[in-house]
């Protein structure tokens, strides 16, 4: 099994984000735009990433009444992002309306629908496996393409949910790396072995002395597995 590394652009300005996109493309092909960066510079960063030929993981974790989330998803689809996140705790109706909005808007634009990925429990929190499984199953049955979860939970979900779905795993660290504020971290190899499809890396690359070399090394772990 192979996986893709996503760089979390957890920086506070368009200039810093542009620096890392220019420096790390095409070693990194997908960049995560979260609440901090999107609040700082809005959709402009999405344009920067798309023009570079890379793809966007829009990690805004939509969580509101169904109509509001559905409209937000439509706007995200128009920006031609690859992945959109929303909180599964928003319930089945919110998820179903978001899924319909994504499919409908992508159809109107004649583009590929982005992946809608549900957040179970944030990796900065401790979590019971049963809670993660319940949320993940509800989200997938309501039409989500996959879930965000830690590597520790990925194998459990693969074993208990038999339908096809995508797993995005944050908190990826190099072997022996610092956990920072993440409670449930994993190495690249551990996450892939557990069944993760997308591996989100932030500070280990952003704060490295040589970000490009670190990105190459972590990407190299995927292919070194020989799967």
Using one digit for the tens of pLDDT, what is the confidence trace for 49-59? 999 999 999 99
Three-state SS for 62?
Answer: strand
Distance, in Å, from the CA atom of 170 to the CA atom of 181, rounded to the nearest integer, reads: 12
* 57, 6 contact by CB (below 8 A): yes
Rounded mean pLDDT of 95-122? 96
61 as an active site residue: the answer is yes
- If one compares 220 and 80, the residue with the highest pLDDT of the two is 80
pTM of the model: 0.91
Question: What's the CATH number where 69 sits?
Answer: 3.20.20.70
Neighbours of 165 (CB within 10 A): 20
- Looking at the structure of the chain, the number of domains it has is 1
Q: Which of 185, 163, 158, 183 is nearest to 172 (CA)?
A: 185
**What is the average pLDDT across 24-45?**
97
Answer whether 206's CB lies under 8 Å from 11's CB: yes
Cis amide bond preceding 178, omega within 30: no
Give the span between the Cα atoms of 47 and 99, in whole angstroms: 24
Range of the domain at 186: 4-224
Per-residue pLDDT tens digits for 62-103: 999 999 999 999 999 999 999 999 999 999 999 999 999 999
* Identified catalytic residue from 61, 108, 162, 164: 61
Structure tokens at 13: 């300005």
């Amino acid at each position: 099994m192979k996986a893709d590394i996503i760089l979390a652009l957890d920086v506070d300005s368009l200039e810093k984000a542009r620096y890392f996109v220019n420096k790390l493309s095409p070693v990194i092909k997908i960049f995560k735009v979260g609440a901090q960066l999107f609040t700082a510079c809005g959709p402009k960063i999405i344009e920067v990433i798309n023009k570079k030929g890379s793809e966007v993981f829009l990690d805004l974790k939509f969580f509101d009444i169904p109509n509001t989330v559905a409209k937000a998803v439509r706007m995200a689809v128009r920006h031609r992002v690859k992945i959109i996140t929303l909180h599964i705790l928003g319930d089945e109706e919110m998820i179903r309306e978001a899924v319909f909005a994504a499919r409908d808007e992508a159809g109107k634009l004649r583009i590929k629908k982005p992946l809608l990925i549900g957040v179970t429990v944030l990796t900065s929190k401790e979590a019971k496996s049963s809670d993660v499984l319940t949320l993940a199953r509800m989200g997938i049955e309501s039409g989500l393409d996959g879930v965000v979860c830690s590597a520790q939970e990925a194998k459990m979900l693969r074993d208990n949910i038999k339908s096809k779905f995508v797993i995005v795993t944050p908190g990826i660290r190099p072997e022996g790396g610092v956990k920072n504020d993440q409670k449930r971290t994993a190495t690249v190899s551990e996450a892939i072995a557990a069944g993760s499809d997308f591996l989100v890396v932030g500070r280990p690359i952003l704060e490295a002395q040589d970000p490009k070399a670190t990105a190459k090394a972590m990407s190299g772990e995927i292919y070194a597995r020989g799967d």
